[in-house]
Each structure stands twice: as C-alpha cells, then as structure tokens.
Amino acid sequence: MYTLFIKNGIVWSMLFLTCLFFSCSNSDSYEEKKSLSISSCNFEGIKTGDIVLKRGKGKVSRMITDYFKEKVPLSHCGVVVCAQDSTFIVHSVAEGYARKDGVQTILLNDFLKDCQANYFYIVRKKTSQDLSELFASKALAYAQQNIRFDDDANNADKNEMSCTELIYWCQKEVYNSSDLTTIKIINKDVFVFNGLLDTSKYEIVKHY
C-alpha cells in the first residue's frame, strides 16, 4: 500500500504521498467509517473550476491524515469540470489506484465512492468565473499530457504531479500564486489541503 524510497542512505516511507482513490478501498483496506451517501448529496449549483476535497475510507487515507495532522483531515483533491451531460473531476492518482498513473479524469460519483461522511467539500475560489474556468482548463490540459504521479514529492517542476501539485501549478499559471501551504517532510516541502478551506479566499459551496 505504500512506496519506499532510498535516497542518500536514508530510507523513508512515502505513505502520505499516495493519493487515495476508490480502488484503494477494496474490502480489507477499508476502515470502519461511515460512508458518504451519494444519494443524499445535492450537487446543483456547482461550477467548472470548483475544487473538491475528501477524506477516503482506506488505510492509506488514514495514514495521510495522521501524518499531516490538519484541523480538517483530508487526503485527496481535484478540479470540477461540468460538461453538458456529466460532471467529472480532474485529479492525479498513483499507479495501482486507478485505470492509469497520474493526471486523469473521473466521474464525480465515482470519485465519491470511498468518501467518509462529513469529509467531502466543494469549494470555490473568490474570483471571477472566467478565471475559474481558465483554472479548470489548465487541469484538463495536464490530463491530456500523460503526466505521471509524483512519487518523489518534487514540487519544483511539472514533469510529475500529485493531486495537490496539480492544484498548485494550475493556480500558479492562472493567479500567479497558490493558496496551498506546505509542511516539511525530511528535506521536502509537501503540500497539504486545508489552505483550500480558508473562508477569506474560498466559498464552501457544499459540505457532506
């Protein structure tokens, strides 16, 4: 369920970098947590460019949230795209947890299949809808470039991306800055999630 890296004689476990996906939650990887009831969710009013955040039910998600120790424990994020007949999410997932490795799209309902109740958010940056849609278009463009998941937590370039790095680079390109914050892991600055819940910068559109 996790990848070990050996660098400069240091062995360190990148549990916290594996973005949780619903296939991670097969039978024995689930923890006994209340599932989000998709049928109880009302997604009316969500828009392209909104950001989704969740906490999954699997053990990897638990390890991520335990390590990050954020006020709201979250383990995955993505960008909303509203098409004419469906709503889907652009996100980045490690190989083994999805149909392919890296930046890709998934239907919103499938994104929610392993979500814990009370830990699903849709947030909207307080900016123009034109800029929000440009932000989403950047994410879609990355999904078409076969960008692999960033197992190495290298935030310095766009060659590989984790779910939070996807948000970071799209925000940098559109807004010239990002609202994500980092914590130090060994010698790495790793992005965490709660900056996207800052109500001075974001509207909480949905919370289930």
Q: Output Rg (C-alpha) for the chain, integer angstroms.
A: 16
Residue 73: inside a domain, yes or no?
Answer: yes
User: For residue 32, what pLDDT is reported?
Assistant: 56
Greatest mean pLDDT among 22-26, 36-40, 88-92 lies in 88-92
Specify the CATH number for the domain of residue 53. Answer: 3.90.1720.10
Scanning the chain, the segments in alpha helix (DSSP H) are 59-68, 108-111, 129-143, 163-175
User: For residue 50, what pLDDT is reported?
Assistant: 98
Beta bridge pairs of residue 49:
none
Residue 192: inside a domain, yes or no?
Answer: yes
DSSP reduced 3-state for 3 = coil
Residue 37: inside a domain, yes or no?
Answer: no
Beta bridge pairs of residue 133:
none
The parent domain of residue 137 ranges over 4-30+43-207
pLDDT digits (tens, 9 = 90+) for 122-181: 999 999 999 999 999 999 999 999 999 998 889 999 999 999 999 999 999 999 999 999
pTM for the full predicted model: 0.86
Residue 38: inside a domain, yes or no?
Answer: no
Closest by Cα among 68, 71, 82, 80 to 20: 68
User: For residue 34, what pLDDT is reported?
Assistant: 87
User: For residue 186, what pLDDT is reported?
Assistant: 84
> What proportion of the chain, given as a percentage, has pLDDT over 70?
85
Beta bridge pairs of residue 120:
54
- Residue 41 and residue 127: Cα distance in Å, rounded? 25
How many domains does one find in the chain?
A: 1
Question: Is 80 exceeded by the pLDDT of residue 3?
Answer: no
Contact 51, 195 (CB under 8 A): no
| Single-letter code of the amino acid located at 180 | L
Largest interatomic CA distance in the chain? 52
Residue 35: inside a domain, yes or no?
Answer: no
Question: Is 80 exceeded by the pLDDT of residue 58?
Answer: yes
The residues near 204 (Cβ < 8 Å, ≥ 6 apart) are 121, 122, 123, 197
Token representation of residue 82: 């509203």
Task: Identify each DSSP E strand in 21-156 by its residue range.
Answer: 51-56, 76-82, 87-93, 102-107, 115-125
Residue 87: inside a domain, yes or no?
Answer: yes
User: For residue 92, what pLDDT is reported?
Assistant: 97
User: For residue 80, what pLDDT is reported?
Assistant: 98
Residue 36: inside a domain, yes or no?
Answer: no
